[in-house]
Amino acid sequence: MNDQPNATQDVVIVRRDGPVLHITLNTPDNGNLMSAAMGTAVIGALAGLDPEVRVVCLRGAGADFCAGRISPTPAKGAPPPSAERLRQLVAQPALDLYDAIKAAPVPTLAIVQGRATGVGTALAAVCDITLAADDSRFQIPEMERDIPPTLVMAALCDRVPLKALGYLVFSRREWTGREAQAGGLVSWTVPAAQLETQADELIATLAGCSAVALRACKQYLTHAPTMSPQAASAFAGHLAGTALSARY
């Protein structure tokens, strides 16, 4: 086990454990609210992954996974920013973060306990696999402040059924882990006391596969849903052939 140096080690911990890259949001006192620095650190950790990394594990330290985002909007009383400036300050950093997780070439696993609110819900669901405690809590509350959560919606629109996404956004209702699993937001839920044990078992299962096979599955999950049936079939054959050829 070895630690990977990180300029923002105090807010995001990045640790390499053999074929597993662990990324931990590390501001538990505020529920791991996502800041600009934290987002930059996560994106940096995912950039140029070592070819031997087989799985990326995202979690939050303490009682919560991620309770939301520290607002990057200018303070009241400052000169009104332009729409383009707001896009740069507010929208683009979040979108870049979600895109970086989606673009990771290996499976990404979110391990969720406590609150996953707003950005936290997006971070949890944007990973390929989301393992959550049954008493964890998911919510997209932005409409309470009359703010359309289109950034979170952009992260989720290809991950959850639109009916579930619309209900989360418009109702602002908080879902438990079990409700989130039923709604397609979470892959699997376990009792809170078993979360770490189940996570370790799942990580070991993934890490036991070859990097070639895992990357092939990730490529298929990423690209096949937007392909025609014929193209998806051809792509499946290409990936299978490439992965099998690595055995010889």
**Which phi and psi angles does 88 have, rounded to 5°?**
-70, -40
**Which phi and psi angles does 21 have, rounded to 5°?**
-105, 120
Q: pLDDT grade, residue 6 (50/70/90)?
A: very low
Q: What integer pLDDT is reported at residue 32 of this predicted model?
A: 98
Q: What integer pLDDT is reported at residue 7 of this predicted model?
A: 43
Alpha-carbon distance 210 to 83, whole Å?
46
In the block, tokens 């895109």 appear at 99
Strands 188-190 and 175-176: unpaired
pLDDT greater than 50 at residue 4? no
pLDDT greater than 80 at residue 77? no
Q: What is the mean pLDDT of residues 65-79?
A: 83
**Stated pTM of the model:** 0.91
At 172-227, the pLDDT tens digits run: 999 999 999 999 999 999 999 999 999 999 999 999 999 999 999 999 999 999 99
In the block, tokens 């070592």 appear at 50
At 25-55, the pLDDT tens digits run: 999 999 999 999 999 999 999 998 999 999 9
Burial 221-230 (b: 16+ CB within 10 A, else e): eeeeeeeeee
Taking residue 95's Cβ as centre, other Cβ atoms within 10 Å add up to 15
Lowest mean pLDDT among 1-10, 66-75, 104-113, 202-211: 1-10
At 125-145, the pLDDT tens digits run: 999 999 999 999 999 999 999
Asked whether the CA dihedral 159, 164, 165, 166 is positive or negative, the reply is positive
Alpha-carbon distance 219 to 227, whole Å?
12
In sequence order, which residues have a C-beta less than 8 Å from that of residue 92 and are 6 or more positions away?
Answer: none
